[in-house]
Amino acid sequence: MKKKVNLTVLIEKDEDGTFVASVPALRGCFTQAKTYEELIPRIKEAVALYLEDENPDLLQNTFVGVQQMEFRL
């Protein structure tokens, strides 16, 4: 039986309208797509490939939260 792992996925839309998904607990695990519908299966595949090479028990990051902040440039 496969072990289930709950991971936080951050999804953003860049200045060109491309959707970008990343998994903070998995360093370097990210993907992008033109639409949200294309993005979801791609990030699932990226996580599956990442976890093929890594032991999920070694994941040490704990998601705390996301804060939207305003900065003056």
Give pLDDT tens digits along the chain (73 positions).
677 778 899 999 999 999 999 998 888 999 999 999 999 999 999 999 998 877 666 666 677 888 889 999 9
Q: Which two tokens stand for residue 64?
A: 């705390």
Provide the CATH number for the domain formed by 10-55 in this structure.
3.30.160.250
pTM over cut 0.85: no
Residue in the structure block whose two tokens are 């699932």: 44
> How far apart, in Å, are the Cα atoms of 13 and each of 10, 22, 31, 55, 68?
10, 12, 12, 30, 14
Positive or negative, the CA dihedral 37, 52, 50, 65 is positive
